[in-house]
Amino acid sequence: MTVHIGAAEGQIAETVLMPGDPYRAKWAAETFLDGAELVNEVRGMLGFTGTWKGNRVTIQGSGMGMPSLSIYANELISTYGAQTLIRIGSCGGMQAHVGIRDVIIAMTATTITSPSSSFFKEINYAPCADYGLLAAAVKAAEAKGTTTHVGGIYSSDVFYAERADLDEQMVRHGILGVEMEAAELYTLAARHGRRALAVLTVSDHLQTGEALPSEDRERTFGDMVEIALEAAFS
């Protein structure tokens, strides 16, 4: 076990899905995994391991923001040997053609700063997804008929941002949506030679002010989880 993950050796699968919300991890495990067992509850950050179509999968909450995700991803990789890490979560849409309930598959993740920023000194490192996972996720989304967008996202280090000028430039440069974790996940995966991807559901929109009604979230988030699982084992 580690400081933040109480799982014993062998309880974490090589494939890990990482929602920010630990209760979303619980819901996803109970909904999509067979034989899901609780393997972590340290600090209330729930993690479960079970099987999906005979493949072992762990679904571990990551918390909110890159510092929190960095802790869990580092421990999953260095101590438990995770090989494939896929963020599943919500994001805010930034482009007019991106709608509520759409899925964004993040090719790249722009950020101002992350826990890994100091590694690069003056270099502006460009974190990107594993291409094999990305291509498999696109194929899975197309097979499901899910409205999907593939491209760059912005990983913000603040939730209550007050930088309208920054949002304007993100939109101007084609950024599809904003969330808070993927850039650090992609950077850590690159550093350790692992596979990473972010599959995101658009739950609200920065331009229109629309928001996904709570009663629709479970159904829509289910598409995202299935796409991530299909991609992991294609």
- Per the annotation, where are the binding residues for phosphate? 20, 24, 43, 87-90
Q: At what angle do helices 22-32 and 214-232 cross, to 10 degrees?
A: 70
What tokens were used for 157? 């280090």
Known catalytic residues are 204
**By C-alpha distance, which of 207, 209, 188 is closest to 197?**
188
DSSP 3-state percent helix, strand, coil across the chain (nearest 5) = 35, 30, 35
> What is the rounded distance in angstroms from the CA atom of residue 127 to the CA atom of residue 110?
7
Binding-site residues, in ranges, read: 4, 20, 24, 43, 87-90, 179-181, 203-204
Half-sphere exposure of 22 (CA within 13 A, CB side): 14
